[in-house]
Amino acid sequence: GAGVSQTPSNKVTEKGKYVELRCDPISGHTALYWYRQSLGQGPEFLIYFQGTGAADDSGLPNDRFFAVRPEGSVSTLKIQRTERGDSAVYLCASSLIGTDTQYFGPGTRLTVL
């Protein structure tokens, strides 16, 4: 079956602009996660959704970052007033339930000029 998909695969933006990154989880997966991977490092947790609600957003670095999952399926990560330090690969993962194995998408590479 189809895996986790993320769009766009690459996004280049200018400092100060607003961006939206989209994640389509595996069909039927109730849990969805966002991670950020900077160059040469392991992924870092950002936020976890169980259904439509954010069950844990402790990893969001500041209030410029926000994520939604209004219908419990597709999720959008929104970054306001982007900074060069936001440049990274943003990874999405989903799992059948919150304690199950997470399956990752290919990521969106964000470059802030």
Between residue 18 and residue 77, which ones bind another protein under the rule CB under 8 A? 31, 33, 35, 40-45, 48, 55-56, 58-59
The residues, any chain, with a CB within 8 Å of residue 11's CB and separated by 6 or more, are 19, 21, 108, 109, 110, 111
Give 4 or 112: the residue with its C-beta nearer to another protein.
Answer: 4
The count of chain residues that interact with another protein, using the rule CB under 8 A, is 27
Tell me how far apart the alpha carbons of residues 76 and 34 are, in angstroms, rounded to a whole number: 10
Tell me how far apart the alpha carbons of residues 36 and 34 are, in angstroms, rounded to a whole number: 7
Shortest spacing between CB 15 and another protein, in angstroms? 25
- Return the closest-CA partner of residue 98 out of 48, 23, 36, 44: 48
Shortest spacing between CB 41 and another protein, in angstroms? 6
Query: Is 9 within 8 Å of 24 (Cβ atoms)?
Result: no
Which part of the chain contacts another protein (CB under 8 A), choosing from 13-21, 61-69, 74-82, 87-95? 87-95
Shortest spacing between CB 89 and another protein, in angstroms? 9
Q: Contact residues for another protein (CB under 8 A)?
A: 4, 31, 33, 35, 40-45, 48, 55-56, 58-59, 91, 93, 95, 98-99, 101-107
